[in-house]
């Protein structure tokens, strides 16, 4: 009975360690994926802002 309890404690500890490492890896992967997606979105947003600013500058009545 004591051996079973010791095995149970060691098993739960290993499970905790494995899940902790697994969740950290999942967190890193999701962070990288979301970061790359947001980077792409904001790059396109920046291109759109530059295009609108260029059109506004070229169409400005104050151009000489």
Of residues 6 and 61, the one with the higher pLDDT is: 6
Residues composing the chain: 64
Q: Say if 58 falls within a structural domain.
A: yes
Q: CA-to-CA distance for 29 and 56, rounded, in angstroms?
A: 40
Which helix (H) or strand (E) segment is 25 a member of? helix 2-58
pTM of the model: 0.54
Q: Say if 12 falls within a structural domain.
A: no
Q: Say if 14 falls within a structural domain.
A: no
Domain that holds residue 57: 22-63
pLDDT surpassing 70 at residue 7? yes
Number of domains in the chain: 1
Look at residue 63 in the predicted model and tell me its pLDDT.
65
Q: Say if 40 falls within a structural domain.
A: yes
pLDDT surpassing 80 at residue 33? yes
Q: Say if 49 falls within a structural domain.
A: yes
Average pLDDT over residues 44-60: 90
Q: CA-to-CA distance for 17 and 38, rounded, in angstroms?
A: 31
Look at residue 61 in the predicted model and tell me its pLDDT.
76
Mean pLDDT, the chain, as a whole number?
Answer: 89
Q: Say if 16 falls within a structural domain.
A: no
Q: Say if 2 falls within a structural domain.
A: no
């Amino acid at each position: 009975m004591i051996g079973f309890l010791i095995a149970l404690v060691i098993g739960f500890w290993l499970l905790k360690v494995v899940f902790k490492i697994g969740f950290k890896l999942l967190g890193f992967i999701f962070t990288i994926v979301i970061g790359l997606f947001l980077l792409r979105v904001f790059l396109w947003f920046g291109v759109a802002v530059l295009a609108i600013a260029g059109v506004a500058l070229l169409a400005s009545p104050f151009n000489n």
